[in-house]
Amino acid sequence: MSDVSKEFLINYRTIFKSSPDAVIITLPDGTISYANSAAEKLFGYTQREICEIGRSGIVDTTDPNLDLILAEREKTGKYQGELIHIKKDGTKFTAEISANSFKDDKGVKRNLITIRDITERKIDENRIKFQALLLSKVNDAVFGLDMNFRIVYLNWGAKKMFSYTQEEVLGRNPYELLQTNINLDIPPQEPVLNGRTSTLVGVKDKNGKNLVVEQNTTKITSDSTTTTGYVVIYHDMTDYKMAENIAQNTLKRLYSILSNIRASVLLVTNDNSIEYLNPAFCDYFHLNEQPEDLIGISDKNMIEKIKNSYRDPEAEIARIKEITSTMKPVSGEEVTMKTGETCIRDFIPITMDGKSYGRLWLHLDISERKKVEENKQNLLESREKLTEKLQASNQELVSLTQKLQITNQIVEANRDELLTVNRALKESEEKFSKAFHANTTSVSISDLDGYFSDVNHSYTQLTGYSRSELVGNRSVDLGIIRLEDRERFQRELVDKGSVKSMKLEIYTKSGDKRIVITDAETIEVEGEIKIITFNFDMTERIQIMKEKEKLLKYVQRKKGELSTLIENIVDEVWFCDAQGNIILANASARNFQAKLDANDPDVLDEVISAVDTYSSDGSIRLKSGSPLYRALKGEVLEDFEEDVVVPKTGEKLNRHVTSAPIKDDKGVITGAVAVVRDTTKRKETEDRLINTLKERNQLNRILVALRKSSFAMMHAVDEDFYLNEVCRIIIEECGHSMVWIGYTDEETKKVVPVAYSGFEEDYLKNLNFTWDDTKYGNGPTGKAIRTGKPCMCEDMLVDPKFKPWRKEALKRGYASSIVFPLIYNKTVFGALTIYSPETNPFSEEEKKLLQELANDISFGITTLRLQRAHKKAETALRNSLMDLKRSNAELEQFAYITSHDLREPLRMITSFLQLLERRYKNELDSDAHEFIDYAVNGAKRLDTMINDILIYSRVAKKKRALERVDMNTVLKKTCINLKTAIDENNARIIYNHLPTVMADENLMVQLFQNLIGNSIKYKGESEPEIRITSLKKGSEWLFCVKDNGIGISEEYLEKIFVVFQRLHTDQEYEGTGIGLAIAQKIVHQHGGIIWVKSKLGDGAKFCFTLPTEPEHTQLI
């Protein structure tokens, strides 16, 4: 270290010592002349040892980057890059280095090098890259994320599933990219809780297609605590979810039907509790409760509630118990009610595969029917048709079963794809080693006897055992797998050389049973045959399959109930065969048939021809457009709207139709079904609401535009960006044709477009916009700028003032416009112009909101301009401060050097003048003696001034350590130093107990010495009295030195702290004018401030502050 300039080390030692990175200084030949303590810690050598061994001792000279870095250093004088280094124990590591060349004060060229160990970062990068390589063949979508949840990798499965390219997704958050909707069946979990989550979510691909996926998130850690990234895997569950939704929709339709039929329905479970009852049941038996309030009560409680509605309660209760005990179907049993009405009671036991699932009670009032015997035949015909409907529903159930089977095949296919990934692990032992513990699949390695050699993190999570508990033991001994399963696994491995898709039961440390699909291969590891086993946890998926089976049985049961009750649906239900013959029409459909003037109302052609039908757009609908005909061609319609005029009655009906084809198990269309709801009254109500909602919606869109424009202003970087963003927001949110913003040109009186959005097609390029009193200045834009008020053209086709622009505007589909002036300080500087494709589209409320938007734009433009001016001024100020700081530093250095170097020649001048006076004393006249006295006195004054300058520069330059200083001791030392002046002037120094502060004691003595000395020097007519006080104020101490001297005029209060600034001549008061400047420098170096309060003739009060807890322990 002796080769490095001592002064250089003194100046920079503190910086190097506090640096967290290793710092070394080298010569061009690689000799190391200095190393800091961080370098000792990094390499394991002492500073002396590092300097002795040189660059070749700590750098891997075989690293090809070394030659590149040295060449760069010779070319540019600096370099930066990565280089392999060597520690004392021989360990090699990758470090990031940065170096700059410089010359020391002797002109020797040296290199200042900082070294930072990046081993952990390189490991993390390799881990993520390797995990990406492992998952590159998976069909599931895989994203690799950094610790900030930004995408750094995606596999081909992600590209295929979501249609994004790599460039479109890198750096983005996957939740935002895929518009993830977690509002599904399973609430999301935090991945930070256990390192892994599995959630069912809804997402959208690049084309906007909705997908349902199983999202698995795994946290990647470099050790047990540090998170380095995440792996997110998406498994497509859309088909399964669709099948599940079909089943759920079937149940919803069933309950909707039950809630709207006239028959009273009561559904009792196998455990004798009420599962469902419809409103008709409550009405018929005069129950005060709502249906949902009665669900869950026992059938005995229900009997008590309804028994008094029968004419003979006791007999009916006995009959109900008899029916329930035998569990045999009862159909058409007549029951007399207390009111004298007669109903028929049906009892339907619900069984499947010989197992009872409950029972269904139906009561249907037939009082009117008993008067007309023919209705009995209608009931029989209805039952036959319902039987046919049941057959059609069975076909629907077969279709649902096929979809569930497809879902199972997808799950099985994905399992095979995961197996392909694990086989890919065998391609490289080195890659396998790095990725083994990061693999999300549970993987273990064991010898041929079953003793674990290694397991990954996923396996420990699956079993609940730690790695140390597993390695060296067998799964059989730990109770993870049963002996018979282990033997079966071993036999297949021996017979076939591998294990494929073996289903096993494993038991976790806590005793839970998990079902896994196991694949195994034999591999050679360092010359030894090992078994690598992949375990795919299928427990949850098997449970899902069981739930599917349970759901299927439930749907079959509900289907039977549906076929019993469909007759009483309020909506029309139509079934026809493949030839268009109506094979089933419920009561509501038959009522509609009765209105028609048709020869054969059971033929579809006749029913369609008997009415005039119009589509929702008002056009006449052809027969081929009928929902049932379209269903027969395979088309599914949901909530299809049509308007029907019945010539026979003159009725105009609005109807909503849902239709679908009926297919057999081979996919052949055998018929069609349609459900029709009369929505005439609802349509009338909706039409009244649409106009109101349309206006409210437009207002909401403007409010959104207001909010987004405010957000754009807060985040705008320049005016052009802000204006274009605001125009885009207005177009996207408000739905207008085109919007543009223009600024006024005072010289030409023209309006110059500066931003626009929407369908413009060069509209603005060749048009003349002005605000002078001409035909081009009397349009909406010119008038708005002249008047400072909004101006509107309600119809461009008829407004004469819009004639100059009419042709081009109509060509682009504009119909009206509105203009808002942009105003700042009552001066119009531009305009916001909006074009609409509709005439007179702006309501008064909309105009108010658009005016508010224009005001926001004016404010935003003005704010951005002020910010730009402020930043420019701030930059100029910052540069000035830097120049001032540099100038002050140079001045202090100059003062120190000048004062130090001038004192010796000044002493020689004084000495030789005095020698000249003594030697030639008798030969000089009185004038010569006087001249010599002037010269000597002047030199002494100059010496005093130089000495003060030297003191000032030392105070500014020297670094001092802070320590606890008792200010009482400081004041005593000050009084000793000033004893002569105090005694000669009979001065009184008055002070109470002073605090202890963190400071430099010598500087504090100098500070008080300068302030008290000043008070004595500038005393008044009375004897000097000087009071020193202290007061703690928050985080600082306030000290005051008050005297009764001559005081200071207010105009000089700021000047007295300036170097060489004196208020009196040498004849009046001696001094150099630097004492108070030194005092100010001392206070500033301690982090405080100093000021003076005084009036001429009224003494002076000097105050200064010192922090109670300074930020630094050393003065800078």
Give 590-599 contacts, CB < 8 A, sequence gap 24+. 592/676, 595/646, 595/648, 595/649, 595/651, 596/646, 596/648, 597/647, 597/648
DSSP state of 407: H
CA dihedral 180, 185, 189, 194 (to 10 degrees): -130
**87 confidence band (pLDDT: 50, 70, 90):** very high
In this structure, are strands 1025-1033 and 1090-1094 parallel, antiparallel, or unpaired? unpaired
User: Minimum mean pLDDT among 71-80, 242-251, 800-809, 1084-1093: which range?
Assistant: 242-251
Mean pLDDT within 458-472: 91
Phi, psi of 866 (to 5 degrees): -65, -40
Q: Are 1023 and 966 in contact (CB under 8 A)?
A: no
* CA angle, 1099 then 1104 then 1107, to 5°: 165
CA separation for the pair 1071, 1064 (Å, rounded):
9
pLDDT of residue 1111: 60
Mean pLDDT within 318-334: 89
- For residue 635, CA distances in Å to 402, 583, 625, 661, 663 come to 20, 20, 11, 7, 12
- For residue 849, CA distances in Å to 743, 791, 843, 859 come to 22, 15, 10, 15
Mean pLDDT within 157-164: 87
Q: Are 805 and 767 in contact (CB under 8 A)?
A: yes
CA separation for the pair 635, 629 (Å, rounded):
9
pLDDT of residue 400: 46
Mean pLDDT within 638-642: 82
Give 381-388 contacts, CB < 8 A, sequence gap 24+. 382/567, 385/575, 385/583, 385/584, 386/563, 386/564, 386/566, 386/567, 387/563, 388/575, 388/583, 388/584
- pLDDT surpassing 80 at residue 2: no
> Taking the CA of residue 418 as centre, how many other CA atoms within 13 Å lie in the half-sphere pointing to its CB?
24
Q: Which residues pair with 555 in a beta bridge?
A: none
pLDDT of residue 894: 62
CA separation for the pair 858, 850 (Å, rounded):
12
pLDDT of residue 835: 92
Of all residues in the chain, the percent with pLDDT exceeding 90 is 17
Q: Please give the distance of CA 619 from its chain centroid, rounded to a whole number.
A: 49
User: Minimum mean pLDDT among 257-271, 446-460, 896-910: which range?
Assistant: 896-910
pLDDT of residue 98: 87
pLDDT, tens digit, for every residue of 402-435? 554 554 454 455 445 444 544 443 444 444 555 5
Return the amino acid letter for 818. I
User: Minimum mean pLDDT among 315-319, 351-355, 763-767, 793-797: which range?
Assistant: 351-355
CA separation for the pair 867, 706 (Å, rounded):
21
pLDDT of residue 1065: 55
**774 confidence band (pLDDT: 50, 70, 90):** confident
- pLDDT surpassing 60 at residue 838: yes
Task: Let me know how many helices (H) and strands (E) the chain has, helices first.
Answer: 36, 38
pLDDT of residue 769: 83
**1112 confidence band (pLDDT: 50, 70, 90):** low
- pLDDT surpassing 60 at residue 183: no
**957 confidence band (pLDDT: 50, 70, 90):** low
Mean pLDDT within 833-846: 86
**388 confidence band (pLDDT: 50, 70, 90):** low
Rg (Cα) of the chain, in Å, rounded? Answer: 48
The overall average pLDDT reported for the chain is 79
Mean pLDDT within 357-369: 80
pLDDT of residue 371: 62
Highest mean pLDDT among 77-91, 681-695, 896-910: 77-91
Q: Taking phi first (over 0 means left), then psi (-120 to 50 degrees means alpha), and beta for anything else, what does residue 59 get?
A: beta
pLDDT of residue 986: 92
Q: Please give the distance of CA 190 from its chain centroid, rounded to a whole number.
A: 15
Highest mean pLDDT among 358-362, 773-777, 789-793, 872-876: 789-793
- The token duo for 644 is 């029907």
Mean pLDDT within 898-907: 65
Dump strand ranges (E) for 261-354: 264-269, 274-277, 330-336, 342-352
Of 414, 417, 431, 428, nearest to 131 by C-alpha is: 431
Highest mean pLDDT among 562-571, 831-840, 846-855: 831-840
**1083 confidence band (pLDDT: 50, 70, 90):** very high
Q: Which residue has the higher pLDDT, 481 or 847?
A: 481
**399 confidence band (pLDDT: 50, 70, 90):** low
pLDDT of residue 1043: 93
Residue 244 burial (CB count, 10 A): 21
Q: Which residue has the higher pLDDT, 763 or 257?
A: 763
In this structure, are strands 988-991 and 1025-1033 parallel, antiparallel, or unpaired? parallel
CA separation for the pair 481, 476 (Å, rounded):
5
Q: Taking phi first (over 0 means left), then psi (-120 to 50 degrees means alpha), and beta for anything else, what does residue 801 get?
A: alpha
Domains of the chain: 6-117 (3.30.450.20), 122-236 (3.30.450.20), 258-382 (3.30.450.20), 428-537 (3.30.450.20), 571-678 (3.30.450.20), 690-872 (3.30.450.40), 959-1107 (3.30.565.10)
pLDDT, tens digit, for every residue of 964-985? 999 999 999 999 999 988 999 9
Dump strand ranges (E) for 609-700: 612-615, 637-646, 651-663, 669-678
pLDDT, tens digit, for every residue of 202-218? 899 989 888 888 888 88
> Taking the CA of residue 212 as centre, how many other CA atoms within 13 Å lie in the half-sphere pointing to its CB?
15
**1005 confidence band (pLDDT: 50, 70, 90):** very high
Q: Which residue has the higher pLDDT, 505 or 1060?
A: 505
pLDDT of residue 628: 82
